[in-house]
């Protein structure tokens, strides 16, 4: 009994099928990588624009000498610190994209991680600004800070906000 199977001209070899599938996978992953690359750039530019504008639109306004009215408040300084933190991280992502587009093989850091931290910084800046403009010990201010803190910790520590069971079902 012959263990060899007959060769047919119309039947592609296994290596040819695998080769075609790998080419399709590489093309698909390249397109997806390009979409992620573009999305990261847009998000980073939006964050940079928002945080830049927030730095010049001071909460509480400015005095006649150009100094911020709320400069001495700890919440104001926290706002400035995290607003600048978010701005610098988003600009680093924009710089990363510029370097990748112009110089091959340059990798500054993982842009999506920097964007996550930048969004976390924006949340802290927002919460500290809410503390500035709302009355002290305001229930609304405390609730906003708690929500921002939970979301910020979820971003930084990559916790799931939505239970896995619901996320898997798509609802």
Is it the case that residue 16 has pLDDT exceeding 60? no
85 located within any domain = yes
98 located within any domain = yes
Is it the case that residue 31 has pLDDT exceeding 80? no
Domain residues for the domain of 96 are 38-163
What does the pLDDT read at residue 157?
75
Total of domains in the chain:
1
Q: What angle do CA 56, 112, 41 make, to 5 degrees?
A: 60
31 located within any domain = no
63 located within any domain = yes
pLDDT digits (tens, 9 = 90+) for 116-156: 888 888 888 888 888 888 887 888 888 888 888 888 888 77
151 located within any domain = yes
What would the 3-class secondary structure string for 73-113 be? CHHHHHHHHHHHHHHHHHHHHHHHHHHHHHCCCCCCCCHHH
Report the percent of the chain where pLDDT is more than 70: 70
């Amino acid at each position: 009994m012959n263990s060899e199977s007959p060769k047919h001209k119309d039947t592609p070899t296994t290596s040819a099928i695998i080769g075609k599938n790998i080419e399709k996978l590489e093309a698909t992953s390249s397109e997806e990588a390009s979409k992620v690359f573009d999305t990261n750039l847009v998000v980073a530019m939006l964050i940079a624009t928002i945080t830049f504008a927030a730095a010049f639109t001071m909460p509480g306004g400015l005095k006649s000498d150009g100094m911020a009215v709320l400069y001495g408040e700890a919440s104001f300084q926290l706002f400035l610190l995290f607003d600048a933190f978010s701005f610098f991280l988003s600009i680093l992502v924009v710089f990363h994209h510029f370097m990748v587009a112009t110089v091959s093989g340059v990798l500054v850091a993982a842009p999506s991680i920097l964007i996550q931290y930048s969004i976390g910084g924006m949340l802290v800046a927002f919460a500290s600004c809410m503390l500035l403009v709302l009355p002290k010990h305001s229930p609304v201010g405390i609730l906003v800070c708690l929500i921002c803190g939970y979301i910020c910790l979820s971003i930084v520590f990559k916790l799931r906000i939505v239970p896995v069971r619901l996320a898997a079902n798509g609802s």
